[in-house]
Amino acid sequence: MELQIDDSILVKNYIAGDEKCLEKLINRHNQRISSFIYSKVLDRDVAEDIFQDTFIKVIKTLKKGSYSEEGKFLPWVMRIAHNLIIDHFRKNKRMPKFEGSDDFNIFSVIHDDKLNAEKQIIKNQIDSDLTLIIEELPDDQKEVLIMRIYKDMSFKEISENTGVSINTALGRMRYALINLRKIVERNNIVLTN
């Protein structure tokens, strides 16, 4: 079994001049990042462009020495990808595409962003409430839940990272969800918009 080198070591070695380390990082996280981007834009070409832009930004930041290693390479790259996805949608909304015709309707082009802002506020509140609720879970359940939901890890990966069996990881996830439901009900928290 090949020993997997930590992301932080690969990043450090890449900054020190070992170009192959970046290739290893890209290969390691390619599937997860590509899937994340595609799930948001639903267009293979756009997803590929955003993926490339993401790693161009990663390379520039690493070369500038602006990256601070906190053992969070993948979440950092995902945040860059997420921001580029948002930029993509903003750019496309500013330049709406429409076919010119005699029955052109201006209302098919203009829309009210206030609803989107309201939905964003609600989403932010739900995310904030959820973060507080998750903090109430026992550490072992919280760890599995965060790995599964926020880091999109498989139960096999969780098992390998935590040193417990897959069944134990599954059990912890199940209890985490049961406990979250109890906390939500006990505190009358609404997690929908």
Residue ranges of the chain with per-residue pLDDT less than 50: 1, 94-98
- Look at the domain 1-96 and name its fold: Rna Polymerase Sigma Factor; Chain: A (1.10.1740)
Q: What angle do CA 13, 75, 5 make, to 5 degrees?
A: 35
pLDDT tens sequence across 71-94: 688 889 999 999 998 888 888 764
Give dist(CA 87, CA 190) in Å, integer: 30
Question: According to the model, what pLDDT value does residue 80 have?
Answer: 92
Long-range contacts, stretch 20-28, CB < 8 angstroms, 24+ apart: 22/59, 22/62, 25/73, 26/55
- CB distance 73 to 6 below 8 Å: no
Question: According to the model, what pLDDT value does residue 102 have?
Answer: 55
Question: According to the model, what pLDDT value does residue 130 have?
Answer: 82
**Structural domain boundaries of the chain?**
1-96, 110-193
CATH 2.40.180.10 assigned to domain 110-193? The reply is no
Question: According to the model, what pLDDT value does residue 140 have?
Answer: 93
Question: According to the model, what pLDDT value does residue 52 have?
Answer: 94
Question: According to the model, what pLDDT value does residue 96 have?
Answer: 45
